[in-house]
Amino acid sequence: MSSEHAGDFDVIVSGAGPAGLAAAALCAEQGLKTAIITGPADPFEKRHDARTIALMRPSIRLLEHLELFAPLKKVSNPLVKLRLVDDTGGLFSAPTATFDARDAGWEAFGWNIPLEDLHPALAKKARELGVEFIRDSALGVAPERKRLARLRLASGKELAAPVIIAADGRRSPIRESARMITFKHDYDQVALGCFFNHSAHHDDMSTEYHKPQGPFTTVPMHGGHRSSLVWMVRPEKARAILKMDADELARHIQIESHGDLGAISNPTPPQSFPMQTMVAHDFAKDRIILVGEAAHAVPPIGAQGLNMSLRDAALAAELIGDAFAFGEDIGGEKIMHDYDRIRRRDIFPRKMAIHLVNSALLSNFLPYQAVRAGAITLAAKVPVIRDIIMRQGLAPSNEHVPRIMREEEQADAAA
């Protein structure tokens, strides 16, 4: 760090969710003096979370890079098949589309990892790599950020660094204080998450049943007879589901999944998550880089949220690390510009695709439904389109994927 830019740290990350922890770990491993402001929750504590995270191959490579995948694999399940079932019962209905990773020459599209295991594992790795954990909450940044960004904390302390990574969730106080504007769309919908057991083997397949109130998605968990559920419904229906006892909920899951997983039992109490699309106008500006849900939030359709966030984290660390290695300003204009340009090409089309799928399901407008059914029919019937969807669903093309998440980079590193 040049003395001109000397702050308390090289990099300060605000927010110790999975995106912030990954960014902090990847900065620290490059020799950057890195701190993370944890916010109210203890990131090392294993707390039950009703979400499992389907992490696709590029994200798995990030975990491999951090030597985290081998231990996490023991609690994860491969995602070998992804199935889309048109369950709208509408005038236009599409055939079932099944995507098989082996058709693309892969062992699996990715792995489904319980968030309650992934989160503390990332925290421990960040600490091992030398990240300083600060149990405090960020209030905001000072408006003048010519040479350094100054962060105000709830304890009254102030910390400065040439660059701040805001990973403090969708209501990011850093982003708000920096007056970085966002575009939001609230859906009249709630996502419910829980785990459940089933008598039939899940065959390493995730099924997204498209229903009139939103997708009902089962995702295979470790052991073959357990899955997680993401059920998107209108708020009124969500309230009714949240009141159900375990037997009643199991019956409903069985009906909605058409018995595909056999007899359903022991669902965990569902947790609810409000549904919103949110995207920042700028992803980096004036020494502030937005990652994870501070930059974008999307409904849980097609397992995109944290996969995009890990690409944010890896790219931020890569650009900062490269500038550091060359003795350049690690929060300079070039980094802000490159980060914003590269992430924009990944985030905007995905956000738009998810919004269109969800809106088409909720819409009663027939032409809209016809287009949705037509798109699924093409995916089901035309192998070349299925292949494009499989590859693009995983990640953008290589040039926009951070180095540590690219397949050939690891092959090179291993050589």
Ligand X SMILES: Cc1cc2nc3c(=O)[nH]c(=O)nc-3n(C[C@H](O)[C@H](O)[C@H](O)COP(=O)(O)OP(=O)(O)OC[C@H]3O[C@@H](n4cnc5c(N)ncnc54)[C@H](O)[C@@H]3O)c2cc1C
**Contacts to ligand X by CB under 6 A:** 14-20, 37, 39-41, 51, 53-54, 137-138, 167-169, 173, 191, 193, 230, 273, 292-293, 300, 303-307, 309
Question: What is 224-251 written as a DSSP string?
Answer: SSEEEEEEEE-HHHHHHHHH--HHHHHH
Q: How far is the CB of 347 from ligand X (least distance, A)?
A: 12
Which among 76, 60, 67 has a CA at the least distance from the CA of 125? 67
In the complex with ligand X, which residue's Cβ is closer, 30 or 137?
A: 137
Yes or no: say if 371 and 283 are a contact pair by the CB < 8 Å rule: no
Yes or no: say if 310 and 186 are a contact pair by the CB < 8 Å rule: no
Q: How far is the CB of 135 from ligand X (least distance, A)?
A: 10
Q: How far is the CB of 367 from ligand X (least distance, A)?
A: 30
User: What three-state secondary structure class fits 288?
Assistant: strand
Q: How far is the CB of 350 from ligand X (least distance, A)?
A: 11
Secondary structure letter of residue 5 according to DSSP = G
Euclidean distance between CA atoms 149 and 145, whole angstroms: 5
In the complex with ligand X, which residue's Cβ is closer, 77 or 304?
A: 304
Euclidean distance between CA atoms 213 and 360, whole angstroms: 10
Yes or no: say if 138 and 178 are a contact pair by the CB < 8 Å rule: no
In the complex with ligand X, which residue's Cβ is closer, 153 or 246?
A: 153
Q: How far is the CB of 15 from ligand X (least distance, A)?
A: 3
Q: How far is the CB of 286 from ligand X (least distance, A)?
A: 19
In the complex with ligand X, which residue's Cβ is closer, 84 or 306?
A: 306
In the complex with ligand X, which residue's Cβ is closer, 64 or 322?
A: 64
Euclidean distance between CA atoms 164 and 151, whole angstroms: 8
Neighbours of 161 (CB within 10 A): 27
Which segments within 252-338 are labelled E, that is strand? 264-265, 271-280, 284-285, 288-290, 296-297
In the complex with ligand X, which residue's Cβ is closer, 15 or 331?
A: 15
> Which residues, other chains included, contact 103 with Cβ-Cβ below 8 Å and sequence gap of 6+?
383, 386, 387, 390
Q: How far is the CB of 113 from ligand X (least distance, A)?
A: 9
Euclidean distance between CA atoms 140 and 128, whole angstroms: 28
Q: How far is the CB of 306 from ligand X (least distance, A)?
A: 3
> Which residues, other chains included, contact 403 with Cβ-Cβ below 8 Å and sequence gap of 6+?
314, 318, 409
In the complex with ligand X, which residue's Cβ is closer, 173 or 331?
A: 173
* Residue, CB closest to ligand X: 17
In the complex with ligand X, which residue's Cβ is closer, 381 or 391?
A: 391
Placement of tokens 């980096």 in the chain: 284
